[in-house]
């Protein structure tokens, strides 16, 4: 899901009518200025959790912080601006922000304290990709997790709904 800024500024006596697409990776929690790919109008926006909190407000005479990923003109057929056009759109690098680059957490227990099936490393008896049957015997397949689960039950850390 991408948010859009539909530029309606008058340029040369007619509206710009460009739809600028804001991809969610860069604009999920973001505050700053972005340019229109067609006319270069700079807009201030503030997004929180992917929703437009404030803006788009036109900022005349200011430089943009970022450009849209791509843009098109839906009322004029297939005319569009694709990623990587200098001064109009930014390149598509296909990388999430630095806060999402890291190691996956190993989770053995759910939020209620019950064991889950998807921890790593899986024992070799699981076969290719650790595909155990639906009814799995945790006591046999992972005795250490079974022991930890029994201790959690004694301490009262395992909850029902």
In the DSSP assignment, the letter for residue 109 is B
Peptide bond into 56 cis (omega under 30): yes
What are the domain boundaries of the chain?
3-95, 103-161
Report the alpha-carbon distance of residue 95 to residue 115 in Å, rounded. 33
Per-residue pLDDT tens digits of the chain, which is 161 residues long: 568 999 999 988 999 999 999 888 788 899 999 999 999 999 999 999 888 899 899 999 999 999 998 999 988 877 889 888 888 998 877 666 666 666 666 778 888 888 877 666 666 666 665 565 555 677 776 788 889 989 998 998 888 76
Q: What is the pLDDT of residue 32?
A: 94
User: Is 95 in a helix, a strand, or coil?
Assistant: coil
Report the alpha-carbon distance of residue 29 to residue 157 in Å, rounded. 35
Q: Among 53, 59, 58, which residue's Cα sits nearest to residue 27?
A: 53
Q: What is the pLDDT of residue 114?
A: 85
Q: Among 20, 18, 22, which residue's Cα sits nearest to residue 2?
A: 22
Q: What is the pLDDT of residue 63?
A: 94
Report the alpha-carbon distance of residue 121 to residue 66 in Å, rounded. 41
């Amino acid at each position: 899901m991408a948010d859009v800024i539909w530029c309606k500024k008058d340029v040369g006596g007619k509206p710009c009518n460009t739809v600028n697409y804001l991809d969610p990776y860069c604009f999920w929690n973001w505050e700053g200025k972005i340019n229109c790919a067609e006319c270069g109008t700079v807009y201030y926006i503030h997004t929180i959790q992917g929703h437009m909190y404030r803006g788009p407000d036109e900022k005349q005479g200011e430089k943009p912080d970022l450009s849209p990923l791509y843009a098109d003109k839906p009322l004029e057929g297939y005319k569009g601006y694709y990623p990587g056009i200098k001064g109009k759109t930014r390149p598509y690098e296909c990388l999430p922000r630095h806060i999402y680059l890291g190691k996956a957490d190993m989770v053995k227990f759910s939020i209620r304290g019950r064991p889950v099936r998807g921890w790593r490393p899986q024992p070799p008896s699981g076969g290719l990709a650790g595909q155990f049957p639906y009814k799995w015997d945790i006591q046999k397949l992972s005795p250490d997790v079974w022991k930890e689960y029994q201790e959690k039950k004694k301490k009262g850390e395992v909850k029902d709904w």
